[in-house]
Structure 1
């Protein structure tokens, strides 16, 4: 059974994107991909003018709320007591957004109810994943 959690958040754009100071973004979690979360930005907030979706580890988001985390394309760190900073690095540039930490906590709490941390492996469908890989290989 699929459980999907979506939460709208207001992201305050800090750098490297068109002049949109505050944008609605969506945090997304699907139990079928239990290790990952996605954050989607609407077309007006992107350099390309199309909706952009970043996928990264749920653990990165959770850990980054209390201390700086990440060394690759996505980095997360706390900003004061009530905001979390997410940095998205791409060849075209870097986007830095601030979101309310309470919104992120609420989202992570909901994902934790769907799939408690440490039990993600129990929600993988390895037979289906293998079948998809084999189909794509042909």
Structure 2
């Protein structure tokens, strides 16, 4: 099983930031899946700045949230129009709202299912 790492362009808004994100443009967000660490979880790493943090949550939550609003603990995911999805993270430090292109998250999810299906060890003869 292999680790899946993918970078995505996203717009981030935090309640600690009074500027509108569109003024700053998209940022690079890290998406990560490690089936050996936890085959049911994905990670989203927010870039340095307000709201910077790595969040770990259920892969199924991400998948469900692309179709209809879904929530688990401090993470909420929902579709936003036809081509975007929003992932909202809550912590004691505040709230970060991250807007992705849905196709980027779908591509990442497909890669995680492929990685999870790979054999743990390949034997060559």
How does the TM-score come out when normalised to structure 2? 0.82
Q: What's the CA shift string for 1:38-89, capped at 9, x where partnerless?
A: 0001213x24xxx510000000001100000014200100001100100000
In the TM superposition, structure 1's runs of 4+ consecutive aligned residues that sit over 4 Å from their partners are none
Q: Does 1:70 align with 2:71?
A: yes
RMSD: 2.0
Quick check: 2:79–2:86 contact (8 Å CA) kept in 1? Answer: yes
Match of 1:43 in 2: 48
Quick check: 1:89–1:95 contact (8 Å CA) kept in 2? Answer: yes
Structure 2: segments with no counterpart, 5+ residues: 121-125
Quick check: 1:13–1:20 contact (8 Å CA) kept in 2? Answer: no
Structure 1: segments with no counterpart, 5+ residues: 117-122, 124-138
CA displacement at 1:14 relative to structure 2: 3.0
Quick check: 1:6–1:29 contact (8 Å CA) kept in 2? Answer: yes
Q: Matches of 2:6 and 2:53 in 1, distance apart? A: 16
* More RCO (CA 8 Å, sep 6+): 2
Match of 2:9 in 1: 10
Q: Matches of 1:52 and 1:106 in 2, distance apart? A: 23
Q: Matches of 1:100 and 1:20 in 2, distance apart? A: 18
Match of 2:27 in 1: 23
CA displacement at 1:105 relative to structure 2: 0.3
State the aligned residue count.
113
DSSP-derived class of the 1:43 partner: coil
Match of 1:126 in 2: none
